[in-house]
């Protein structure tokens, strides 16, 4: 199992309107559970893989062609002698801002999902996380609640095969 998630801890906490760290481990578990459930329902792997993007004479802001970057791993700049060194960089979506302008070449290593993760699946994950968070008590006949219909509606178009 990968440590990269379809939804980040910060995104889940924002959705749940939680502003403290007391339940971070619990929420991480809910994120993993939601992701695994979506994988099972859609019959999709949601696996990540490594990519490298090399750009010559980069500006201080570089746009990577991949739109679905999950994680920025390393940004390495190369001087005029071809010697590489790590540089600080910040990611906003697929735009990378780095701190070493004027280098002749840059190599950016990052992770993307094998398959594009559509926004409806991310929203479905948030809905399921909220449902699990709000219904975490012992379930009996009198307090059982079903997964919201909205979750099913968001996930249904992405199912592979027949059930």
**Over the chain, what HEC string results?**
CCCCCCCCHHHHHHHHCCCCCCCHHHHHHHHHHHHHHHHHHHCCCCCEEEEEEEEECCCCEEECCCCCEEEEEEEEEECCCCCEEECCEEEECCEEEECCCCCCEEEEEEEEECCCCCHHHHHHHHHHHHHHHHCCCCCCCCCCCCCCHHHHHHHHHHCCCCC
Of the given ranges (14-28, 29-43, 59-73), which has the lowest mean pLDDT? 59-73
State the pLDDT at residue 159: 81
Q: How confident is the model at residue 39 (pLDDT cuts 50, 70, 90)?
A: confident
Which CATH code, of 1.10.4030, 1.10.3470, 3.30.230, 2.60.40, is assigned to 48-113? 2.60.40
pLDDT for residue 2? 46
**What CATH fold (topology level) applies to the domain 9-46+116-158?**
Hypothetical protein yqbg (1.10.3230)
Domain spans, the chain: 9-46+116-158, 48-113
Q: Is the predicted pLDDT of residue 76 greater than 80, yes or no?
A: yes
Residue 1 has pLDDT above 60, yes or no: no
Instruction: Tell whether the model's pLDDT for residue 89 goes beyond 70.
Output: yes
Q: According to the model, what pLDDT value does residue 145 have?
A: 67
Mean per-residue pLDDT for 83-88? 94
> What integer is the mean pLDDT of 82-107?
91
pLDDT given at position 53: 95
On the question of pLDDT at 97 being above 60, the answer is yes
Say what the pLDDT of residue 141 is: 59
């Amino acid at each position: 199992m990968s440590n990269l998630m379809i939804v980040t801890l910060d995104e889940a906490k924002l959705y749940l309107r939680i502003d403290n760290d007391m339940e971070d481990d619990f929420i991480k578990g809910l994120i993993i559970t939601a992701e695994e459930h979506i994988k099972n329902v859609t019959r999709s792997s949601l696996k990540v893989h490594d990519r490298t993007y090399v750009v010559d004479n980069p500006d201080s802001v570089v746009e990577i062609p991949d739109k679905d970057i999950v994680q920025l791993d390393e940004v390495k700049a190369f001087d005029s002698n071809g010697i590489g060194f790590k540089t600080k960089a910040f990611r906003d979506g697929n735009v990378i801002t780095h701190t070493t302008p004027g280098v002749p070449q840059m190599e950016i290593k990052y992770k993307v999902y094998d398959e594009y993760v559509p926004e409806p699946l991310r929203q479905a994950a948030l809905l399921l996380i909220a449902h699990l968070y709000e219904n975490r008590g012992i379930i009996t006949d009198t307090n059982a609640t079903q997964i919201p219909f909205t979750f099913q509606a968001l996930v249904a178009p992405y199912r592979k095969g027949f059930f």
